[in-house]
Chain A
């Protein structure tokens, strides 16, 4: 069985602060994919990143960065210099990787609500 744990239910920061959202996962699969999605107040889930389990390189995209550590089964997400527009619920998700390299169903965590204020 697969499981994703996002222990932080809600985080509040002041604009321009850095913030890290934690994600810990459990799986018996040897290969898998990890994802982060953003759900703004409008409700539609927005894809942020996909990471393959055998690629442990950290990734940076603008103010966003991701730290994948297989040894601790964690895939944390950091927003640098947060902005009010970053306010949303952020979900970490896990998918098995099929023999042909395909991802399939996503198992989501319960999400972390980020509130960024002025």
Chain B
């Protein structure tokens, strides 16, 4: 098992464009989390899934953000009509039940 993977690792886009990130959790982990981290801050929770069900969404997650986890395996996070304030590192983590969350390397988004 190679851990949590995220793709792409870096994304540069122009304001107003849509972007989509992918996260592949550790196999058989039933929970998958998305966080956002800006420079000098700790990660902030965005949303999480148990299997394919999205159980909680942060108020930080505006209508421009949507996440899916079809079939309870990989997950995608889409940001529509990106804004400069969306520039951040987007982190994915997975866990099995109550156990610790294992984090991926992140996708760094830069919105010009």
At the interface, yes or no: A93 with Cβ under 8 Å from chain B? yes
Given A103-B95, A108-B42: A44 and B104 interface contact (C-beta under 8 Å): yes
At the interface, yes or no: B101 with Cβ under 8 Å from chain A? yes
Say whether B89 contacts A106, CB under 8 Å: no
What's the count of A-B pairs with C-beta under 8 Å?
A: 62
**Pick the contact of B97 from A43, A102, A109 — CB < 8 Å?**
A102
At the interface, yes or no: B102 with Cβ under 8 Å from chain A? yes
At the interface, yes or no: B28 with Cβ under 8 Å from chain A? no
| Least CB distance, B96 to chain A, in whole angstroms | 10
Residues of A within 8 A of B (CB): 4, 33, 35, 37, 42-47, 50, 91, 93, 97-98, 100-111
Residues of B within 8 A of A (CB): 31, 33, 35, 40-45, 48, 55-56, 58, 89, 91, 93, 95, 97-106
